[in-house]
């Protein structure tokens, strides 16, 4: 969903620029921007919480961000290589 927020901000910037060229081009107010961003963040948070409650294996792991393999499930021990 960060892509959705970035796309929205990009559209807002383009409309702001175009409004400077032609006043007939609509502008998105700051209040509308904040509402859209808050709604997107709220929806993604709720969807994430619902998914993690339905599927406990869907939770993010520390290595998920850096591309490390996920830890073994059900208490299995994996050698660390140290």
Per-residue pLDDT of the chain (82 residues; tens, 9 = 90+): 678 999 999 999 999 999 999 999 999 999 999 999 999 999 999 988 888 888 877 666 555 555 555 565 555 555 555 5
Residue 51 CA to residue 39 CA, distance in Å, equals 18
Tell me the whole-structure pTM to 2 decimals.
0.61
Predicted local confidence at residue 48, as pLDDT:
85
Residue 34 CA to residue 50 CA, distance in Å, equals 24
CB neighbour list of residue 61: distance below 8 Å, 6 or more residues apart: 70, 71
- Domain ranges for the chain, please list them: 2-52
Predicted local confidence at residue 56, as pLDDT:
72
């Amino acid at each position: 969903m960060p892509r959705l927020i970035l796309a929205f901000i990009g559209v807002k910037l383009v409309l702001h620029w175009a409004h400077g060229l032609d006043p007939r081009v609509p502008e998105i107010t700051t209040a509308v921007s904040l509402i859209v961003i808050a709604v997107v963040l709220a929806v993604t948070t709720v969807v994430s919480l619902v998914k993690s409650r339905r599927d406990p294996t869907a939770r993010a792991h520390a290595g998920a961000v850096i591309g490390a393999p996920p830890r073994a499930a059900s208490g299995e021990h994996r050698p660390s290589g140290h």
